[in-house]
Every structure is written in structure tokens, then in C-alpha cells.
Structure 1
Amino acid sequence: MSERFSEGFYKAIFEGCSDAIYVIDPQSSRILDANTRAWTDLGMSRERLLQHSVISLQQGVENEEHWAQIAEMIYSCHPQAFTFIGRHYHQHGTYFPVEVYTSVIEFEGQPLFLSIARNLDRTSSQREAFRTKDARLTYALNEAVDGLWDWTIDTGEVFFSPQLKRMLGYLPHEMEPTLETWSEAVHDSDRGRVMAALDEHLSGRDDSYSAEYQMRKRDGSYIWVRDRGRVCQRDEAGNPLRVVGMVHDITRSKGLEDQLREQASHDHLTGLLNRRAGYIHFSKQLSYALRYNQSLTVCLIDLDHFKNINDSFGHLAGDSVLKHFAGLMNITLRKSDSLMRWGGEEFLLLLPNTEVASAVKLIGQLKEKLADNPAELESGEQISYTFSAGLACCPLHSQALDALIKCADDALYTAKGSGRDTILVSDESGIEQPGLF
């Protein structure tokens, strides 16, 4: 057979193959060449396909680091083909199941990967297999959005579905099929609670098993999952023999849940506790102080002439001043102290285990810190500002939350009326107070 005829012959085989063929760069996973079936299956043109890589086409291959691990496995299998069931991306935004065989070849002194991918949606044998119940179950285990598991209790063997493995970043042949593989992937802080929930169901005290917890992925990071299961087979004595369940990735919804919780309890501008959450925190601090017979000083702070800042520099500058104050106080205050935004330009500061004299000294230090560190706008312009403060102390002035706030608020009102930039302690106790500072 002549060399010219041989080249044409192999080209005809390449283009005439009923399965997709890809030539892949082992280093970058970039697609170097492919046959007509490949870009037809993907709904792309040849030019479009050659802009892709395995990372962008294969669901479950997350990044360059993950690809490097896969490439190492492909090399380790040589001269045998590396085989796995995966899902390829279609131009329309969907995925379809494929059976992929990848071999290492050498061309002009350079190693290349040659992958043959069979579209399982197109095979008549696959359609025929779906006519049986077991095959439909197999399809569900492979293609369900959620990851599925099947635990045989007496042997300790656990079947992990391909989708569950993909969810955790594993390849189809990875993850030892044992209970320990799962239990060790559960976050340390959740493991005891999760195992207790499972035991409640196995013992018959709960109708089903359900738990939300953090689960470790192949790369060491964690995702939040909702895990549900039920005993599907018992022996004559009622002892559980087999349990099946489903794992759903709820990381995104958990993130939104945490975000909503944060927004509900924190001021969006300064990141401090808002007034609603501040009341709850204040109540806990006050209960602690009363229980252990400790002083708790409450300080209401109001930024002086804040309206003038808004009028002179604009509301964005006013926002910058509020954020500057909160940030400066947070890095200056003690770890035990709590600063919260009470409303507008007013802040509430809790000083646990602190008597009045010590609190006055601390607030004075905060005023000095503020004088040395004016707010700086994006334009580079600096704004110097001051604050007034009113203080009340438990048990000196009151042991009730609302009464302490009123005492501090009255002292603040008097301080602002006395010229501002002032610290004043409440005189509601009937005890001679330190006066103006």
C-alpha cells in the first residue's frame, strides 16, 4: 500500500468512525483535532470545537490541577486505555452521557492523548437496555441530579453513584466502596450528629434518615449537602440489611441562607450588628453581668455635626465617614467589647466587666485615636470629625436593659447640648458623677 494511499485510508477511518475521536494536548487538555462525529455530537463547528479543552467540555473536570491528576492516571494505564463514563457538554447548554477510552500515542516525538468517546444517548443497545427495570435504575444512578448511595450493612460495602463521585470531584473508578469512605468525608464538627441520626433510623426510632452536613471533596474543600436515606431491606428479626439514600448539594442555598441571616442581623454599610440583633446581644451580655456580679458599661455615641458632612461633601462621603468610624473602633476596642450601629450616625458600645471610671478613660482614648486618624475620601481629601458619648453602668444606674439605654441616651443628649465632642456619665443613680470630660 503506497504512503499516499495509506494517508488517505487513515483519514477516511478517522472521519468515518461512528464514535467521536479527539486528539488532546496532555499538558493543557486543549483539543488539537477531532473528527466530524465529535463536533456533530457537541453541536459545534470544527473551528468552535478547537477553541475548547477537556476542562470546558467534560463535566466534573474542574481545573488545570484536576486535569493534571487525570493525565497522570492516563499515563499510568499505558499501554492500556484509560476508561471512564462521563458527560460531555453540548452547545445548547445540556450534557449527554459518554463512554470514553483514552490512550497515549506519540507523534513527531511528542506524547498525545487519543480519546474515543461513544455517545450513549445514540446507541441502540442503550435504548434496548432501558426496557428493563434494572437498566432504568442504572440510568437513574448515573444521570440523576442528586448523588445516590446503596449500603449493604453486613459487608460494609457502599455503592456510590457516578453523579455522587462527580459532585465530590472524583473520577468513576475512585472512592473506595466502604462506609469509612463516606464517614471520613463528613466534617469533624458534623460527624457525631450525622452518625447519631443514622443510628436513630437503623434502630427504628425514626422512620427515615435525614441530615445536613459539610462533606469533603477530592481537593480538600467542603460542600454542604442534604443527605436522606431509608432502610429498604430487613431480615426476619427486623434487623436492617440494606439502606439506600440520596445526597443533594445545597452549598448555594446554604450560602444564600447565611447571606440572608447576615443581612437580617448586620448593618449593610458598616458590617456591625444592627439595632434588632444588638438588643439580643445586649440582653445576653446583661444577663451574664448580673449572673457573675460584674459591671457592664453602656455607651451611646453620636457623631458630631454629621449633617454638615453630608451637606458639604455629599452622602457618599457621609457613608465613608460611618465606615471609617466603625473600622477604626473595631481595630482599637478590646476583643470583649461590642460596637453596633444603633441608627443613623448613632452607635451603641458595650463594655463588659468595666466600671464607669475605666469606661471614661477608654472612650477618651478612642477620641484621641479618632483625632489622629481622620477619614480619607476616594478623592484623597481628609475629613476630621468628633463624637459625643453618654454612659450608663450596670448595676450603678440600673439593672434593666431599657433603663440603661435611657440613662445613656439622656447623658448623650446633655453632652450634645453642652457643645458636643464631650463624654458625659448619667446622673440617674443619685450618686455624684464625674461630670464633663
Structure 2
Amino acid sequence: MGIHVPPLLPNEAERLAALRDLRILDTAPEAHFDAVCRSAAALFSVPMTSIALIDSDRQWFKAKCGVTADGTSRDVAFCAYAILSDDALVVEDATADPRFAHNPLVTGEPGIRFYAGAPLVVRSGIRLGTLCIIDTKPRTFSEAQRTQLEDLARIVVAHIELHRGRLVAEAALEERTRSQALIAASEERYRTAHAKLERTADLLLMAQEAAGAGVWEWSLDEGVVRNSPESARMYGFPCGEGATAWVDVSVAELAARVHPGDLAQMRAIYGDALHHTTYKLEYRVLHPEGGNRYRWLMGCCRILRDEATGQLLRIVGLNIDVTERRTTQDALEQSEARLALALDSGSDGLWDWSVTTGYVWYSDRWHTMLGYEPGEIEPNIRSWERLAHPDDIRHARALLTEHFEERSASYVCEHRVRTKTGAYAWVLSRGRVVARDEHGAPLRIVGTYIDITERKASEQRIAYIARHDALTGLPNRTVFHEHLEQRLAEVRRGRGQAALLCLDLDRFKTVNDTLGHPAGDELLCQIAQRLRTTVRESDVVVRLGGDEFAIIISHLDHAHQASKLAQRVIDAIGQPLDLGGVLVTVGVSIGIALAPSSGDAPEVLFKNADLALYRAKDFTHGTFCFYEAGMDAAVESRMQLELEMREAVLCGGFALHYQPILRLIDHKTVGFEALMRWPHPTRGMIAPDAFIPVAEETGLIVPLGSWALQQACREAASWPDDLRIAVNVSAIQFQQPGLEESVLSALAASGLAPNRLMLEITESILVQDADAVTACLHRLKGFGVLIALDDFGTGYSSLSYLRRFPFDKIKIDRSFVREISDPGAAAIVRAVVGIAKELGATVTAEGVETNAQLEQVHREGCTDVQGYFFSRPLSAAQAIEFIGGNMVENS
């Protein structure tokens, strides 16, 4: 099958235009974008993150973490799907999603399995790309995590908007600088032409040729205006032959060429000029090429009078084409308006620094963004030095020097500035030298201030989230690894000892499953607080995940300090906790590894502390254990046993043996207990005590238990109808869905009557969720299946269980039978028998091995027995023989 090609958005052209207007594609890496990628990788514990921009035929990574490529084609980009909506796209397993299952990024490198991408929405419907996280393993993604990812995407959008604002401001500054230069050049040409107007009439045509000016003379008595060839061309009148051929036109003809909007002003100035000596005016005339186009002229003139009488004779003048200057000036005014709008629309302030004098012009917005009144701050570089944070000045000066020496294209610095309230605000200062002397030394630099206080606060929040557990507020794995590496580096240099404690809560899962996840979360928060108050200030407490914690003891003089701390932690955590009015008690197991004696590398010390924790949990709950050499060999042996067990489950390597259960009144066989055995091909018969705990810890007990039910029912179906089969059911099987279906399936497949099957459970099953387990047992009993309470008296021993559920049988543990000669043990057996009789249940004594024990349990009232005194567990074939012999004996 081919890969799915993502569809295009209806506004794709508008979206691409918005992306290209930003001029951000194929630009150099920027620290704040890279920081967001690193924060996302740490926050979500993923190997790959990127900020992807979707072009017409590709996705390009503006920033990335853990990604080697600069981009991919758009056809294979997950992000091309993510921009189809404003909501984040989450793909928990790409191989199960038809859009991506055959994608080369999934079937090949980098082997994407998990993807989550939040679109970068700059305005309604315009999504430029995504902030995405990627893993090579499938994983789930909660609503809280989706919200965190979308929050990070909003920070990326904020950076993009800052980038857009910077482009507008810089363009406006450059346009203003260029326009000022053009105006200066034009005015210089005007001053040159005006000076030449002061010369004699004989030099006027030379002035025309030198400065591109047009000369004219208006004879008041004739009403005719004589124009030099250049002046005539400016008005669009045809010129005669020869460079000095003047063109005469009437005043009316000339006025017809002037823009109607300028005629009134021109007449007013002329009228005023008749009473003075000179005048100057800028006005528009029709362009020689016709149409509705106009060009700008600047006219200057002198009034000539009869020296004797003062009578007006004529007016001589000069026209200069200032179209270019006026156009530039208009553009400058527009540019300044745009700059003012850009500054007024954000939190930007403008500054202009004369480096040689120290004078600095600060815009009004520069003042108000810091809480000052316009003009309140002295316009000098000394003001910046007084307001800048002392810790930031050195760095800012270094960056400024770098730009002054032309080692950077512009000055860019993030630093703090003191506001009028005395607090410090973060600003992004950008500037560029716009004038240098002949030696290249800077004369003038202009720039902007952008308030980034909110962005800095967001970055600090993200940094905190990336390094702390969201639930408990404790430092997380990132901080754990950093601190452990740092401390062990000091240990390797001979600076004392350290210790690592790995903690795992006991019975946490029971609380979480019984009272619900909110109660479990509250428990973890209270445990975290107890750990904080138990350790020293110099020690580090972290949450590794789930109900696992760790403590790094930074400075250790002797091993007993670690022992004392571990015991304090055990005592503190063992105190009851109030979870919404319900008092619960949990414990903790602790593994301890010392540095350097148990390792001076982080991964070695952590592994050894974990091995010690594993050993502590083997002993009993609420204890601690130091790492010792050889523990890893024991763990390796256990792991090998687990691997071989998994293979045996798949290959049918287990077997059932059957131990007879006899009725005491007539010694007749009434049934068998099915006991699981593992005949290993090389190790021989492995005892249940060796493999059953491993099976329960790994979950293998579920398929093993299901197989045992099927096998036991199939064997029992061939026995006489009065014989029952008893099968043990683990607590783990009750925790998984499907137990009832497994029982009914075994009965249906074998044809065994339900009342011939007895399920044996222990008291520990009832502790985990008594209501749910009791309901399940009632349903099974409703089907006709019998229920026995096994090993009674060795667990929690709550008589309320006997009251809440009518067991068909109670089995007395072999430990009481072994001590039956002791009056105390005999009294317990007698009491259990009495309770069973009241409840209508039979009583089986397990582990009967001697005739004395048999007689004693008989006297105490037990109804059934099983044990080596009668028979060891038998194979299926041997059980058939035993049944036959027993029938002969009782016939």
C-alpha cells in the first residue's frame, strides 16, 4: 500500500503567504526556539522534538532536539496533518493508524511510533506549522499533557510574533535612515541652486545646466512669462531649437498647468511677494507625459523694481524639480507612521544614541514601559548604566563591543532594567550602528526595547516544569541524574562519600485500586512532604515515577548515617495518612548503595541501589538493605528463571499433580487438589515456592492459572461423578478482567459439572477490593461453583470475611496441623471448626503427615484431610490408579 498524502487547507495560498511574509524559512537557529524544543523533550521524556514550518512542498525545522534532518517532504510529514485543525494531533501508535502505518518515517528511520503536534496558530485559520514531540515507542497521552503541549505551542507563536514585530521595526528604521539621507541630498541640491540664483542673469542658464533648474522671467507689463528650455520642459511646453531658446507663454497657459489644489496658495504667495523682495513655494504641475500624473516643483523668485521710482518691472525666478525629494519625504512620513504604529501596538521603546557625546534619545514608550513619565529619565547613556541590573551590565557591554567592532551584524541582548517601582523588568534590546567615521568607529546607534518579562516568566515556569514532578513538586529524574553525576564526580576526586537510597512504597497499589486515583495522588503528595521534612537540607529527594522515590545523601561520614536516615524514612512513612477522612497505612522498602565502595558512576550506583531495594522487598515490608557483592548474580539468576518460565508457558512445559482429599469419617477419597509443577528439562523439578512468586510478579500467573483451570477440569471430567477437583486462584487473577469467563470456559470445554469444581482462594484476595471480589465470588457461586478459603489463619485473619461470604470449605494451614500437639494451636483449630459448623462449611486439615496428627485433627472436628500421610501429589495417570484402588478398598 502507498502512503496517505495529507490534504491541503482551503486557505493554503493565504497560509503560505503569511509564512513567507515572516521571512523565517531557512534562517539560522535561534536560542529561544531551541530552548522550547529542549524543554518539551524534558517535560514529556521523548527523544525527539521539533518546531516544524509547513512550506508548499516540504516541512522545515526551525528548531529541533534529537532530530538530525533539517526537514522532510510534505507528503510524509505528520505535521501536515496537524495543521488541518486548531487542536493538537495525537497519534499514540503510528503502526495502528492507517494514515501513517506505511509512512517511510514509521517503517524506516527514525521509526516513529508516537507523535503529538500542536499547531502554531498566528491568527484565525492560519496555521504555520507545529510544535511536535516524537517517540520510537507507542505511548498514551493525557488531556493534561495535551494542554501542556498546546501551552508550549503558544509560547512558540509569541516568539514568532516578536520576530514579526522586529521585522517591521527594523524595516521602518532602515527606511527612515535612507529617507533622511535622500532628503539631505535633495536639500543640498536646492541650496546650491538657490545660491546660484543670486548671481547675475548671465549666469542663470549655467545654473540651470549645473543644478537641473529651470529659469523664468515674468514681464509684468507684457503679461508674458519667458521660460528657459529646462523650465519649459518642466511645465510640458514645447521647446525651441538651441540650448538657449527661451519659450514665451501667457500667465493663463502657465496656470492651466498647475494643480488646482495649489493655485490658491500660489496666488496668495505671489500677492504677498509683491510687497517683499523674494518668495519660495512648492507646488505641483502636470507631468510632461500627460495623464493625471503631476510632478513637484519648488519655485524661488526675486522681485525687480525701478530703483528710481520703486515701480515693479519684472519677476525673475528659478524652478527646481523636487519630485524625488517629496516622494521620499512622503515615504518617510509613512515609514515613521508605520514605526509609530509598530511601537504603539506593542511594548516597544525606541532609543537613539550618539556614541561620541553620550546623548541618548528615549521615546515616550521607552519611558512608559518602565513606569516613568516621558522625559523623566536623563537623556544620557549614564541613565542606562544606572537602570540596568548590575549582573547584566558586563554581558551587555560585551555584546555591544562585539557589534561596534563589526563582529556581529547587530546588537541583541536580553537583560533586566529597573522600573520606577524598583522591580526589574526583562527587556530584549536590539540595535544597529547607522553611522561610522572614516576609521570605522561608531558614531550613532539606534534600536528598540521590547518588554519580554512575561516571556521570561513563562520560560522559567517551563524550566521548573521540566525539572520537577507535576504532582508532588519534587525534583524529577532530570535533576536526579544531574545531581548524582555532579556529586559522584566530586567523590571520584576524593571529596568524601555519598549514598543513594532507592525507595518503593508498599501497599500503594492497594490504596490506589481501592480508594481511587485521586486518593492515590493525595497519598503521594503527603509522602513527598514527609520525605522533605525527614532529610537534611543538603540532601536531594526526587520522585522517579509512580510510587518510586530516591534520596541522594550528598555528604556521608559513615554508613550508619544512611542506616539512620533510612529508618527515619521508614518510621515517617509508616505513620497513618488521612485521605479524605479515610485513614490508611503504607510502608516503604529501601535499597542503599554507598559511593565509592558500591560504585562511583551514576548508572552503576543506581543499579546497585535498585538491586538492594529488590532484596529488601524480598525480606519483608518496611525494611532497608545495603547493596552487597553478588546481589546482581542473584537478580540475573531470577531473570533467567523468568525467561525460561515464559518459554515454558508458550511451549506447555508445566504439569498438574493431584493430591487426594479424604473424608475422615470413612477415609473415602472425595476429591483432589490440583497443584502446579514445573518439570524443567535441565534443572529438574522446580519447587512451586521458587516459581509461583515470580509468576505473580511478572503476571505470568494469569495465563498459567487459565491453563490450570482448563487442564484440571478436563482431567476431572473422566473421574467418577462424586469426586471434586480443587484449583487455586491467585490474587493477581482477580485483579485482571476475565476470571469468570475463564472458569465458565473451562467448565464448558470439559463438560464438568460446576458443583464438581472448587476454587481455593486466600485471605489476601479479599483485602485488595473486598466488595468487588465478594461480588465476583457470589456470581461464581451462582453458577454452581464451590468456593474454599485456603490457608486460613496465616494472613489477615479477619472473621468479617467469613460473615460476608458463605464459603463451602475452610482449609486449616499446615502450620497449625504441624503444631497441633500444642494446646494453643489445637484451640485455634477447634475454634475454626466451630465457626465452620455454624456457617455450614466443611473443614480440611492440610499437611497431615503422621497418625498422631490425623487422630488429633479428627478429635478437633475436621471433616477432611490431605497430606503426605495418605499420598504425595500424583501425576494424572497415578491419580486414576489411586481412585481405582480407593474404590476397591471402600467396596
> What TM-score do you get using the length of structure 1 for normalisation?
0.64
CA RMSD of aligned residues (A): 2.4
Does residue 282 of the first structure (1) align with residue 484 of the second (2)?
Answer: yes
1:359 has 2:566 as partner:
no
Matched, 1:407 2:608: yes
Q: 1:75-154 maps to which residues of 2 (within 5 A)?
A: 131=330, 133=332, 136-137=335-336, 140-141=339-340, 143=344, 145=346, 146-154=348-356
Q: Cα offset for 1:218?
A: 1.3
Q: Deviations over 1:28-52 (max 9, x none)?
A: xxxxxxxxxxxxxxxxxxxxxxxxx
1:9-48 aligned at under 5 Å gives the runs: none
Change (3 A) 1:165 1:276: same
Task: Give the structure 2 partner of residue 386 of structure 1.
Answer: 587
2: CA distance, partners of 1:172 / 1:246: 16
2:572 corresponds to 1:369: yes
User: Alpha-carbon deviation of 1:391?
Assistant: 0.3
The CA deviation at 1:339 is: 1.0
Whether contact under 8 Å (2:503, 2:548) holds in the other structure is: yes
Aligned-pair distance for 1:268? 0.6
Secondary structure of 1:309's match?
Answer: helix
Aligned AA for 2:336?
Answer: L
Report the more deviating stretch, 143-152 or 407-416.
143-152
- CA shift digits 1:291-330 (9 cap, x unpaired): 1342111100111110111123221111111111112222
Check 1:137–1:205 CA distance in 2 against 1; reply closer, same or farther (3 A cut): same
> Do the aligned partners of residues 349 and 324 (structure 1) sit closer, same or farther apart at CA in structure 2, a change above 3 Å counting?
same
Structure with larger RCO (C-alpha < 8 A, sep 6+): 1
Partner of 1:315: 517
Q: Is the 8 A contact 2:502 2:550 kept in 1?
A: yes
- Picking from 524, 531, 534, the partner of 1:329 is 531
Q: Tell me the percent identity.
A: 36
One-letter amino acid of the counterpart of residue 192, structure 1: R
Aligned residues: 301
Q: Of Structure 1 and Structure 2, which has the larger fraction of its residues in helix?
A: 2
Distance 1:242 1:175 in 2: 20
Mapping of residues 221-370 of structure 1, within 5 Å? 221-354=423-556, 355-370=558-573
1:219 aligns with 2:421: yes
Mapped pair 1:425 → 2:425: no
Residues 1:165 and 2:367 aligned together? yes
1:359: how far off? 0.6
Distance between the aligned counterparts of 2:599 and 2:352, measured in 1? 62
CA distance in 2: counterparts of 1:205 and 1:183, whole angstroms: 23
Report the structure number with the largest CA radius of gyration. Answer: 2
Paired residue type of 1:140: L
Q: Is the 8 A contact 2:367 2:375 kept in 1?
A: no
Query: Secondary structure of the residue that 2:361 maps to in structure 1?
Result: strand
| Separation of aligned partners in 2, 1:161 and 1:231 | 18
Q: Distance in 1 between matches of 2:399 and 2:331?
A: 35
Verify the 8 A CA contact 2:498 2:594 in the aligned structure 1: yes
Q: For each residue in 1:146-192, what CA deviation from the matched residue of structure 2 results, as whole angstroms up to 9, or x when unmatched?
A: 21100112221111111222211122232221112222221122111
Report the alpha carbon displacement of residue 341 of structure 1 after superposing the two structures with TM. 1.0
**Structure 1 residue 136: Cα displacement:** 4.8
Separation in structure 1 between the aligned mates of residue 552 and residue 334 of structure 2, nearest angstrom: 65
CA contact (8 A) 2:593 2:608 kept: yes
TM-score (norm 2): 0.32
**TM-aligned CA distance change 1:266 to 1:325, over 3 Å:** same
- 1:172-183 to structure 2, matched below 5 A, reads 172-183=374-385
Instruction: Please give the alpha-carbon distance, in whole angstroms, between the structure 2 residues aligned to 1:362 and 1:277.
Output: 21
User: Is contact 2:485–2:601 with CA below 8 Å preserved after alignment?
Assistant: no
Deviations 1:245-292 (A, max 9, x none): 111112222222222222222211111222244223211221122113
Distance in 2 (CA, whole Å) between partners of 1:144 and 1:240 is 31
| Cα distance, 1:231 vs structure 2 | 1.0
Name the SS of the counterpart of 2:551 in structure 1: strand
- Cα distance change on mapping 1:178 and 1:138 into 2, 3 Å: farther
CA contact (8 A) 1:407 1:428 kept: no
1:391 and 1:303 mapped to 2: Cα distance?
15
Query: What is the rounded CA distance, in whole Å, between the counterparts of 1:346 and 1:257 in structure 2?
Result: 28
- The answer to whether the 8 Å contact 1:224/1:249 transfers is yes
- Asked if structure 2 preserves the Cα contact closer than 8 Å seen for 1:144 and 1:163, the reply is no
Conserved? CA contact 1:396–1:429, under 8 Å: no
Which blocks of at least 5 consecutive residues in structure 1 are unaligned?
Answer: 1-129, 431-437
1:397 is aligned to 598
Secondary structure at the counterpart of residue 256 of structure 1 = helix
* Amino acid paired to 1:173: G
Matched position secondary structure for 1:184: helix
* Distance (Å, rounded) in 1 between the aligned partners of 2:334 and 2:516: 68
Contact 2:503 2:590 in 1 (8 A): yes
| Letter of the 2:499 counterpart | T
Q: Deviations over 1:349-402 (max 9, x none)?
A: 111221422111122123333445x4333x344433221101011111122222
Q: Against the structure 1 CA distance between its residues 282 and 291, is the aligned structure 2 distance closer, same or farther, given a 3 Å change threshold?
A: same
Give the Cα–Cα distance (whole angstroms) in 1 for the partners of residues 417 and 583 of structure 2.
Answer: 48
The correspondence of residues 193-208 of structure 1 with structure 2, limited to 5 A, is 193-208=395-410
Please give the secondary structure, in 2, of the residue aligned with 1:173. coil
Superposed CA deviations along residues 90-130 of structure 1, whole A, max 9, x for unmatched, are xxxxxxxxxxxxxxxxxxxxxxxxxxxxxxxxxxxxxxxx9
Distance 1:398 1:133 in 2: 71
Q: Is the 8 A contact 2:570 2:623 kept in 1?
A: no
Local SS of the residue matching 1:353: strand
Change (3 A) 1:382 1:220: farther
Match for 1:334: what amino acid? R
Q: Distance in 1 between matches of 2:389 and 2:338?
A: 30
Instruction: Kindly state the Cα deviation for residue 139 of structure 1 after the two structures are TM-superposed.
Output: 6.9
Rounded Cα–Cα distance in structure 2 between residues aligned with 1:178 and 1:276: 46
Does the CA contact (< 8 Å) of 1:298 and 1:405 recur in 2? yes
Could you tell me which residue of structure 2 aligns to residue 50 of structure 1? none
Asked if 2 retains the 8 angstrom alpha-carbon contact of 1:274 and 1:340, the reply is yes
Deviations 1:402-435 (A, max 9, x none): 22112111111121121210011111279xxxxx
Secondary structure of the 2:594 match is strand
Does 2:389 correspond to 1:187?
yes
